[in-house]
Amino acid sequence: MERTLIIIKPDAVQRGLIGQIITRFEQRGLRVIGMKLIHVTRELAEKHYAVHKERPFFAKLVDYITSSPVIVMALEGPEAIKAARTTIGSTKPFEAAAGTIRGDFALTVDYNLVHGSDSPENGVIEVANFFTDAELLPGWERSTDKWIS
């Protein structure tokens, strides 16, 4: 069972898309094991985006993710990373397929609505950066689980 971190970014929160985005992941079959509304601190943003620290857009990323509250979710499911990233769509919204979150709601790379972990290893690290073990409810069963996996 894989885990992925999803961040519903400031532009999606400000545009009132939280419910529609969460619905996409639930309809896909991914199980929410943690979710909260937070205001990301600069320290946490810099840690989260550390891989981009030397890139010219790093400061802009940090400013963006700290500009407004976000929803962070820990999702679990078989091949959760691939399922979530397929649901999200291409990083460049103009390349994202219709029916994906970015394909349906985003116009620019700068405001692309959602973050999803890019590997199982990063999923574990990212979930741990945003959630304590006490904030997660892994493995709880939904009545629909037997129809999904």
Question: How does pLDDT run across 53-97, given as a tens digit for each residue?
Answer: 999 999 999 999 999 999 999 999 999 999 999 999 999 999 999
Architecture field, domain 2-40+70-139: 2-Layer Sandwich (3.30)
Question: How does pLDDT run across 85-117, given as a tens digit for each residue?
Answer: 999 999 999 999 999 999 999 999 999 999 999
Residues with Cβ < 8 Å from 76, sequence gap 6 or more?
1, 2, 3, 30, 31, 33, 138, 139
Active site residue 52: no
Helix H or strand E encompassing 22:
helix 18-28
Determine the 3-state secondary structure of 146 from DSSP. helix
- Report the chain's C-alpha Rg in angstroms: 15
- Listed residue (84, 81, 92) closest to 120, CA to CA: 81
Determine the 3-state secondary structure of 148 from DSSP. helix
pTM given for the model: 0.94
